[in-house]
Every structure is written in structure tokens, then in C-alpha cells.
């Protein structure tokens, strides 16, 4: 099982490489939703950025990340907040 940082790093790497491996993204989206409370702001930002960058739709994941971000908005640094807001644009 991947921890939140490993999930975020994996989708970030695929998105950065321009590879939208939908099966992988779908698996990580499902796993991430069930563990969203374990994600720190950087994990949340990197994950949502990666999905948006790769163009992979994950409505349930985006909803979970939005809820987590709102409840912890004061914990985000400016870069994490910028990347998160960009992903939702």
C-alpha cells in the first residue's frame, strides 16, 4: 500500500512526464479518497495538480480534496494553495 506522499509523487511524476495512465490514476483516486484525512497540504496540492495536468477526471477525488483543503486552509503555504486553486480552475 502506498502512503499519501507516495500516491501524490506517483501521479505527479506521470503528469509531469505527460503520461495519463488512466488505470493508475483511477486506482490512486480510489485509494486517496478513502485516506484523504492522512494527506498533508503538499500531498493534496500535488495530487489534485497532477490529475488536472494529466486531464484525468476524478470528481469524487476532487470533492474530497476540496473538503480537506477547506478544513485545513490555514495549513497551506502559498505554493500549495496556488497549485490547488489552479487545479480547480
Q: Is the dihedral of CA 20, 21, 23, 27 positive or negative?
A: negative
CA distances from 59 to 1, 8, 42, 47, 83 (A): 23, 17, 20, 13, 17
Residue 85 pLDDT exceeds 90: yes
pLDDT digits (tens, 9 = 90+) for 11-49: 999 999 999 899 999 999 999 999 999 999 999 999 999
Q: How much is the pLDDT for 20?
A: 83
Name the pLDDT band for 1 (thresholds 50, 70, 90).
confident
pLDDT digits (tens, 9 = 90+) for 42-74: 999 999 999 999 999 999 999 999 999 999 999
Amino acid at each position: 500500500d502506498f502512503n499519501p506522499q507516495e500516491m501524490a509523487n506517483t501521479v505527479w511524476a506521470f503528469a509531469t512526464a505527460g503520461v495519463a495512465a488512466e488505470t493508475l490514476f483511477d486506482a490512486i483516486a480510489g485509494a486517496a479518497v478513502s485516506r484523504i484525512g492522512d494527506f498533508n497540504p503538499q500531498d493534496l496540492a500535488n495530487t489534485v495538480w497532477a490529475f488536472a495536468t494529466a486531464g484525468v477526471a476524478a470528481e469524487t477525488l476532487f470533492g474530497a480534496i476540496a473538503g480537506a483543503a477547506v478544513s485545513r486552509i490555514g495549513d497551506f503555504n502559498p505554493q500549495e494553495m496556488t497549485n490547488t486553486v489552479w487545479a480547480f480552475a
